[in-house]
Amino acid sequence: MGKKIDFKFSRPFGPVIAKVTIPNEIVDKLNTYVDEIIINKEKVKELDYGSKLAGNVQQEFKLEKEFIKDSGWGNFLTNCANVWVQKAIDKKITKFELISTWVVRQFQNDYNPIHTHSGHLSGVGYLKVPKTLGKYSQKDKVNNKNGLLSLVHGSKMFLSDSTFNIVPQVGDFYFFPNYLMHTVYPFSNTDEERRSISFNAKIDENIYNIYS
């Protein structure tokens, strides 16, 4: 993988969630690529992915295969997924089939409703984050969720939470199984962009399907 990637594993409820840091050089390549795409009307139209996704956001588009390979993004996802799955269930995958990877450009008042993904593995990371995500109208409320990613699993019970809230930070990337419900809350009081990147992939069916 080149530079060593640090992993942090957590189990806030059922599945193991992996957190890694996208290397700065890949973050820069991704942002440069996105910035070039958004000023090219033909490319924006060609790569538009909004109709395939759940979000009520300004713009969503998929990445081109050649860029995924040349930028190192595909290798990053493959290698991290291998480590994550082996750490979580002590099994080594032999197949990593990238279905799609896409960028979400979210601005104030945009949001992503609760949803799941296709494939077997998924994840989300951050390329740009506004300096402020705004405050609640009622000033005395704590745990401001503006602009946060919320992972949802099961029901809240004694000694068991049902949500895991993630504050977006540039370079952070989270891996989770495709079935894990998640949502992104809207934010306000800024014209800055919240730019994220996600993926869906398939692995060995006999590893994913625990009943096989």
The per-residue pLDDT for 13 is 93
pTM of the model: 0.95
- Letter for the amino acid at 157? M
The per-residue pLDDT for 159 is 86
Long-range CB contact pairs, 134-140, < 8 A, 24+: 134/108, 134/187, 134/188, 134/189, 134/190, 135/189
**Range list of β-strands (E), the chain:** 8-10, 17-21, 59-62, 96-106, 112-115, 121-128, 149-152, 163-166, 172-177, 181-184, 194-203
pLDDT tens digits, 70-81: 999 999 999 999
Backbone angles phi, psi at 200, to 5 degrees: -130, 140
- Letter for the amino acid at 212? S
pLDDT tens digits, 92-121: 999 999 999 999 999 999 999 999 999 999
pLDDT tens digits, 19-60: 999 999 999 999 999 999 999 999 999 999 999 899 999 999
Task: Fold for 8-203, please state it.
Answer: Jelly Rolls (2.60.120)
Under DSSP, is residue 112 helix (H, G, I), strand (E, B) or coil? strand
The per-residue pLDDT for 137 is 84
The H-or-E segment that residue 83 falls in is helix 73-89
> What's the token pair of residue 184?
């992104």
pLDDT at residue 87 greater than cutoff 90: yes
**Range list of β-strands (E), 153-203:** 163-166, 172-177, 181-184, 194-203
Domain positions in the chain are 8-203
The per-residue pLDDT for 139 is 79
- The rounded percent of the chain whose pLDDT value lies above 90 is 89
> What's the token pair of residue 51?
């109709």
